Amino acid sequence: MSAPVVAIIGRPNVGKSTFFNRVLGQRRAVVHDLPDVAEGREALVRRQAETAISLADVVVFLVDAKSGPTDLDSAIAQRLRRGQRPVLVAVNKVDKPGDTIVHEFHRLGLGEPEPMSSENGYGIGDLLDRVVASLPPPEEKEEDPSGRIAIIGRPNVGKSSLVNALLGEERMVVEAEPGTTLDAVDSRWTTPAGSFVLVDTAGIRKQAHFEDPTEFHATLRALSALERADLACLVVDTTQGFQGQDARLAQHALEAGCSLLLLYNKWDRIEEREASWKKLMAAREERYPTLGDLPAAPVSATAGIHLARLPALMAKRIAEYRRKVPTSELNRWLQDVQRRRSVPSTSSGRTPRIYYLTQTGTGPPEITLFVNAPSRLSDQYRRFLWLDFTDHFDFHGTPVRMKFRKSE
């Protein structure tokens, strides 16, 4: 069933991200001791907050006990009073029960304020009880999404612009300045090819050290998004070509177990497109042979080029990711591949025997081969089997996992 949405809003530096992390018990939001990580981008962030409110089932309006009610708090409250969503006023930074400052927030006209502290956990349980009580009753059923798609890429390649273009609404903060998007944001996307969840992620920089700690945490978020995605769409800047950092991101995605699709963005800036596309593909295969057969498509987020094709392409990648190959087909392949290239003997003259194989998992595909002596099977032959398998069954851009077990 669809999970209800709780929006946490408030003016800068009242402790929204700290509260978010406290509730989840892990660092999932970008937190840094600066005046505000969104400073200078208030209008853009305000529009994102409006979107969050419109999508929410319950709004938690976080205010600061240390500063008391401010004019900005009153302005936000006025906007919330016009809405139809339940609103809970959470007075953060209250260190002990009975603090009279809490009563001053009655003037916001949004009901009984709830004292709490994101730092030490005081009042969090009572607030969450009120949140749960305010949620709508659960829906009886919901169609399972066709897949989760992580949008990844270097900073400023157009990830958020692409997500906004696909959704047809501004859901991500988009600026020309690299690194604007700090958090991963999930968005439902319904298409003729299926219903997906898009995860837009912060751009991952190649430096091992980050001058801005918010970039470090944003990078962790991006890598975490890969762990919960079925498909990673790696956005590449076509004007710069496939670079070393793109290759590293592709490896991150494959190691996380994601299927992979390359999207060459900014295609509207390219002339002689047919020749340019062949050149781009050849250059990637020459520089990164192991990534040469990755599925790829040219797109333009700003001009809308080929965006209509993406749902079907993504659905195809996810179907391959979840594909189940019949055991009979697998073992016919095994017989054929061993006829073409016999299992090599060890230095002592012993030849391991592969008896059969079966698929033991999907998403990504996992293939288990049963061998009388797995330790005698050379790494070279294992690699040969993997390459031949992925080519024969047309697994390109899907990280097939091949395991070898001792036959009982």
What is the CATH number for 335? 3.30.300.20
CB distance 226 to 252 below 8 Å:
yes
Residue 139 covered by a domain: no
Over the stretch 98-108, which tens digit does the pLDDT of each residue have?
A: 888 899 999 99
Residue 42: per-residue pLDDT = 53
Number of domains in the chain: 3
Same domain (yes/no): 374, 307: no
Over the stretch 322-359, which tens digit does the pLDDT of each residue have?
A: 999 999 999 999 999 999 999 998 888 888 999 999 99
Same domain (yes/no): 125, 229: no
> What percent of the chain has a predicted confidence (pLDDT) above 70?
80
CB distance 169 to 51 below 8 Å:
yes
Handedness of CA 133, 99, 30, 40 (dihedral sign): positive
Q: Region 369-390: what's the mean pLDDT?
A: 93
CB distance 76 to 61 below 8 Å:
yes
What band does 96 get if pLDDT is binned at 50, 70 and 90?
Answer: confident
Same domain (yes/no): 181, 298: yes
Q: What is the DSSP string of 307-369?
A: GGGHHHHHHHHHHHHT----HHHHHHHHHHHHHHSPPPP-TTS----EEEEEEEETTTTEEEE
Same domain (yes/no): 295, 339: no
Q: Measured between alpha carbons, how far is 214 from 227 in angstroms, rounded to an integer?
A: 20
**Does residue 35 register a pLDDT over 50?**
no
Q: Measured between alpha carbons, how far is 58 from 46 in angstroms, rounded to an integer?
A: 18
Residue 177: per-residue pLDDT = 41
Residue 66 covered by a domain: yes
Residue 342: per-residue pLDDT = 92
How would you classify the pairing of strands 185-191 and 231-237?
A: unpaired
**Residue where a domain terminates, one of 70, 101, 134:** 134
Same domain (yes/no): 238, 125: no
**Does residue 2 register a pLDDT over 70?**
no
Q: Tokens representing 354?
A: 């592969």
Residue 269 covered by a domain: yes
Residue 255 covered by a domain: yes
Q: pTM score, two decimals? A: 0.63
Same domain (yes/no): 126, 174: no
Same domain (yes/no): 102, 166: no
What band does 213 get if pLDDT is binned at 50, 70 and 90?
Answer: very low
* CATH value at residue 315: 3.40.50.300
Q: What is the DSSP string of 182-250?
A: -S-EEEEEEETTEEEEEEE-PPPPS-SS-SSHHHHHHHHHHHHHHHT-SEEEEEEETTT-S-HHHHHHH
Residue 141 covered by a domain: no
Q: Tokens representing 162?
A: 């692409």
Same domain (yes/no): 130, 215: no
Coil, helix or strand for 143?
coil
Residue 357: per-residue pLDDT = 94
Residue 46: per-residue pLDDT = 59
DSSP H or E stretch at residue 254: helix 244-255
Same domain (yes/no): 255, 341: no
Same domain (yes/no): 60, 183: no
CA distances from 199 to 116, 232, 277 (A): 31, 9, 27
Residue 101 covered by a domain: yes
Same domain (yes/no): 107, 239: no
**Residue where a domain terminates, one of 291, 321, 351:** 321
Residue 23: per-residue pLDDT = 84
* DSSP 8-state class, residue 271: S
Residue 140 covered by a domain: no
Residue 158 covered by a domain: yes
CB distance 239 to 269 below 8 Å:
yes
Same domain (yes/no): 245, 196: yes
Residue 4: per-residue pLDDT = 75
Q: Tokens representing 385?
A: 């089997």
Over the stretch 226-280, which tens digit does the pLDDT of each residue have?
A: 877 899 999 999 999 999 989 988 998 999 899 999 999 999 999 999 999 999 9
DSSP H or E stretch at residue 168: none
Residue 29: per-residue pLDDT = 52
What residue has token string 């596309």?
Answer: 277
Angle between helices 379-392 and 327-340 (to 10 degrees): 130
The domain in which residue 397 lies consists of: 327-406
**Residue where a domain terminates, one of 321, 336, 361:** 321
**Does residue 306 register a pLDDT over 80?**
yes
**Does residue 401 register a pLDDT over 90?**
yes
**Does residue 221 register a pLDDT over 70?**
no
> What percent of the chain has a predicted confidence (pLDDT) above 90?
51
What band does 219 get if pLDDT is binned at 50, 70 and 90?
Answer: low
Q: Measured between alpha carbons, how far is 242 from 255 in angstroms, rounded to an integer?
A: 19
The more confident residue out of 83 and 351 is 351
